[in-house]
Amino acid sequence: MTDLAEHVSEEAHGDHHDDDHGHHSSLGLSNMKLAMWLFLGSECLLFGALISSYLILKTRFLTELLAGNPDVIAGIDNPELVQEFIAEGSVEPLWDIPFTSLSSFILLMSSLCMVLAHKATEEGDYKNQRIWLATTAILGSTFIGGQIYEFTTFFAEGLTFDGSIFGSAFYTLTGFHGVHVTGGIIMLVSLLFLSLRGKLQADRSETVELVGLYWHFVDVVWVLIFTIVYLIP
Amino acid sequence: MTDATIEHAEDMHDDHGHNDHAHDDHGAHPTEKQYWVVFVILAILTAVEVAWSYLGLHGAALVVPLIVMMVVKFFLVAGVFMHLYFDTKILHGRVFWWTFAAATTLALLVYFIVFASFDQVF
């Protein structure tokens, strides 16, 4: 029997293994990809809730602060910062926009590296695949390093997690995002190890694409957080 | 094996050909150059966003352009980097977009109801 006939026989008996792509759903997507989109859909609701909560709690915090509520004032462990908040009528004095802009740029750059890693995988260019995967992971780690630095600075300036509803909402929102980026870095490093062991060939490019979908989602969420939390007063 | 059997086998092989390659469940992806172009646009938009926030504008003059730029960036990443624009070409488009629109409407309704329940905000 020829190879072709063997292939047909396997197909007829359902023995064809296409582990990476999975079977196609009625939407024309592989099941794995559809599952990732459903997961990302649920993540949209999670981050939607966190962003909404942040906006509501920040508004309430500022209203109480401007009304002179002593409990809210005592929640910020820095009288100078409280005065700046009151003078500006917003939490803007806390932000370091140039630094956060640089972090945003780094995360955008990592998204570019991710699509280039996927493209290199599709083309069977494994050297570039590893370079781009490693670069994406390094850029993601740099972003996380920046977030740790930012949290440390804010904490030193008097914004604690349990001191005010604004602090709780801010650290929860950006912290959850940071945890997602960290999860993405772990996935990227896993892909890099798979590639080094020769187990991430062109026929498994969908694996890279799925991790890419997650990574770009994390980037998209930061696009929203950067504008809504940092740039809009 | 007879010629007819081989012909039949090749037909079947063609039928299942869509499983042979990872890309066949979506349209053609952008080129490397297009990815770079999108990245440059995203970087420029981010720079403009930051510059806009330093102009000292207030109210709608500050917020509306920032929201517009944010939405453009969102759709560029989702459409090009996440291949949503390219995948939907063969995604039985109408079904996918109706599902997407229904889910978005439902999510927005839920958020509006939650917002409305906070007297302090509205």
Written as one string, the DSSP assignment of B2-69 is -HHHHHHHHHHHHHTGGGSSGGGGS-PPPPHHHHHHHHHHHHHHHHHHHHHHTS---THHHHHHHHHH
Answer yes or no: do B29 and B69 share one domain: yes
Contact between B12 and A8 using a beta-carbon 8 Å cutoff: yes
Answer yes or no: do B39 and B13 share one domain: yes
Answer yes or no: do B97 and B62 share one domain: no
> What number of other Cβ atoms are within 10 A of residue B65's Cβ?
16
| Residue A186 placed within a domain | yes
Q: Chain B: residue nearest A44 by CA?
A: B107
**Domain count of chain B?**
2
Q: Count of CB contacts below 8 A, A vs B?
A: 141
| Residue A170 placed within a domain | yes
Closest in B5, B43, B95 to A108, CB measured: B43
| Residue A207 placed within a domain | yes
Answer yes or no: do B103 and B60 share one domain: no
Over chain A, what is the mean pLDDT?
86
Cβ under 8 Å to A: B residues 80-99: 81-83, 87, 90-92, 95-96
Residue B14 has pLDDT above 70, yes or no: no
CATH of the domain at A96: 1.20.120.80
**Residue B113 — φ and ψ, nearest 5°?**
-65, -40
Residues spanned by the domain of B44: 3-91
Does B71 contact A at CB distance below 8 Å? no
Residue B18 pLDDT grade (very low, low, confident, very high; cuts 50, 70, 90): very low
Answer yes or no: do B32 and B86 share one domain: yes
**Nearest-CA neighbor of B62 among A46, A232, A99?**
A232
Residues in chain B with CB shorter than 8 Å from the CB of A122 are: 22-23, 29
**Residue A65 — φ and ψ, nearest 5°?**
-65, -45
Is residue A89 within 8 A of residue A66, CB to CB? The reply is: yes
* pLDDT tens readout for residues A68-99: 888 888 888 888 888 888 888 888 888 999 99
Answer yes or no: do B77 and B100 share one domain: no
Residue A28 pLDDT grade (very low, low, confident, very high; cuts 50, 70, 90): low
Residues spanned by the domain of A118: 32-231
DSSP state of A135: H
Answer yes or no: do B13 and B46 share one domain: yes
Answer yes or no: do B23 and B35 share one domain: yes
**Domain count of chain A?**
1
Q: State the ipTM, two decimals.
A: 0.82
Indicate the burial class of A89 (C-beta count within 10 angstroms; 0-12, 13-18, 19 or more).
exposed
Answer yes or no: do B71 and B82 share one domain: yes
Over chain B, what is the mean pLDDT?
72
Contact between B9 and A5 using a beta-carbon 8 Å cutoff: yes
Residues in chain A with CB shorter than 8 Å from the CB of B78 are: 216, 220
A-interface mutation test, from B19, B26, B105, most A Cβ less than 10 A away: B19
Does B112 contact A at CB distance below 8 Å? no
pTM over 0.90: no
Separation CA B63–CA A136 (nearest Å): 31
- Entry field: residues in chain A: 233
Is residue A167 within 8 A of residue A62, CB to CB? The reply is: no
- How distant is the Cα of B4 from the closest Cα of chain A, in angstroms? 12
Answer yes or no: do B40 and B54 share one domain: yes
Residue B91 pLDDT grade (very low, low, confident, very high; cuts 50, 70, 90): low
Answer yes or no: do B29 and B39 share one domain: yes
Answer yes or no: do B80 and B27 share one domain: yes
